Chain A
Amino acid sequence: MDNGFVLEKLKARFGEGSIESSVFRDELTVVLPKEIIVEVCRFLKEESQLEFDLLADLCGIDMYTPVKRFGVIYNLYSLKNKHRLRLKTFVEEEDPKLPTVTTVWGTANWHERETYDMFGVVFEGHPDLRRVYMPDEFEYFPLRKDFPLMGIPGSIPLPKK
């Protein structure tokens, strides 16, 4: 199984227009619109010749552009065919909402919580969307490019000496 085969099956099922793809260092990256992302994931997991049954990684990325600022990246792996694939979708800054894929892979639960914690991307339909690394009362989203590395003084309280 190789990248060309996967791309053909995807285009055959979802049409040529909505899918852009690129290959870098032998890895296929497919960019999708956010409305069809759950269907694509389910298709990739259940289709008999593809079987991408392990969601290796789900992360967010801040492109810092005026349009399509936040991206969410899904790194998939097929245990049977030993093949990797990457899916990418983008959301806007004013409305960073995306449907959740926890119904397809249970492991996406904590990954999506981490993306929400670090970037502020809200996953609709997530069973338990709260922060995972920062304390629950923290008001900012640390991995955005406009948040300083040293943090904002006073944003988390410290016990008195």
Chain B
Amino acid sequence: MGLEHALGDSFLTTKLDDAINWCRKNSLWPMPMGISCCAIEMMAFAGPRFDVSRFGSEVFRFSPRQSDVMIVAGTTTYKMAKVVRKIYDQMPDPKWVIAMGACTSSGGMYRTYSVVQGIDRFLPVDIYVAGCPPRPDNLIHALITLQQKVQRGESKGSFPSYVGDPKLNQPQPLPVKAG
């Protein structure tokens, strides 16, 4: 009602890709791959104080077939890497990956025989979040940066022709904002 009152009897013109990407970015349903301590901060990020459902991530779908973005939270060991990859392969396109925490970005404080030194050795990653564990505010900032990326139609893992104009999939520098 409010929208029709504001816009009046007229119509909007936009590109179809922009409209679809706008819908996609405001309803990103995450699949939480909660492995260790970062999972607790991810639960707090879904909890009552840092409520993430106001950004569109209403439900945390634990089934990969029904989700858009996989948040890998926690140290990935070699034994677990096979499982994470299997679940990533089951997600339908377009899909994005957020690597949460220091352990997934680069192995973190564990330079040992059983920890994979960064999940980008076997998964294409879109957003890296720093912290050990990152605060939930940090993770919300990551989600908003991902939303900007989705609006532009970029996705590192998906087949490009599903996500907007292939020309847009060239690497572009992200605008750096303060605060």
Q: Determine if A161 and B124 form an interchain contact, defined as CB atoms under 8 angstroms apart.
A: yes
Known contacts A134-B79, A135-B79, A156-B79, A161 near B122 by CB under 8 Å: yes
Contact of B111 among A133, A135, A149, A161 (CB under 8 A): A149
Q: Tell me whether A156 and B122 are in contact in the complex, defined as CB-CB below 8 angstroms, given that A149-B111, A151-B114 are known contacts.
A: no
CB <8 Å contact, B113 and A151: yes
Least Cβ distance of B40 to chain A in Å?
22
- For B104-125 the 0/1 string (1 means CB < 8 A from A) is 0000000111101000011110
Contacts A156-B79, A159-B81; A134 near B121 (Cβ below 8 A): no
Q: Determine the chain B residues whose CB is within 8 A of the CB of A161 once the complex forms.
A: 121-124
Q: Would you call B113 and A150 a contact (CB within 8 A)?
A: yes
Q: Tell me if A105 counts as interface (CB < 8 A to partner B).
A: no
| In the complex, chain A residues 24-75 whose Cβ is within 8 Å of any chain B Cβ | none
Q: With A and B bound together, what is the CA distance between A160 and B123 in angstroms?
A: 8
> In this assembly, does A142 line the interface, its C-beta being within 8 Å of a C-beta of chain B?
yes
| CB pair A159 B111 closer than 8 Å | no
How many whole Å from A25's CB to the nearest CB in chain B? 30
In the docked arrangement, what's the CA distance between A133 and B81, Å? 14
- Asked if B82 CB lies within 8 Å of chain A CBs, one says yes
Work out how many contacts link A and B, with CB atoms closer than 8 A.
38
Q: Which residues of A contact B85 (CB under 8 A)?
A: 159
Q: Choose among A135, A142, A147, A149 the residue that contacts B78 (Cβ–Cβ < 8 A).
A: A135
Residues of chain B contacted by A157 (CB below 8 angstroms): 78
Return the contact of B81 from the options A142, A148, A158 (Cβ within 8 A).
Answer: A158
| Interfacial chain A residues near B122, Cβ < 8 Å | 158-161
Tell me which residues across on chain B come within 8 A of A151, comparing CB atoms. 112-114
For the complex, what is the distance from the CA of A106 to the CA of B82, rounded to whole Å? 33
Give the shortest distance, in Å, between B162 (CB) and chain A (any CB): 19
In the A-B complex, the 9 residue pairs with the smallest Cβ-Cβ separation, listed nearest first, are A151-B113, A159-B85, A156-B78, A159-B122, A135-B79, A161-B122, A158-B122, A159-B82, A158-B81
Which of B's residues lie within 8 Å of A, judged by CB? 78-79, 81-82, 85, 111-114, 116, 121-124
14 inter-chain pairs at a CB distance below 8 angstroms, sorted by A residue, are A142-B113, A147-B113, A149-B111, A150-B111, A156-B78, A156-B79, A156-B114, A157-B78, A158-B116, A158-B121, A159-B82, A159-B85, A161-B121, A161-B122
Beyond A150-B111, A158-B121, A159-B85, 18 additional pairs, beta carbon < 8 A: A133-B114, A135-B78, A135-B79, A142-B113, A142-B114, A148-B113, A149-B112, A150-B112, A151-B112, A151-B113, A151-B114, A156-B78, A158-B78, A159-B122, A161-B121, A161-B122, A161-B123, A161-B124
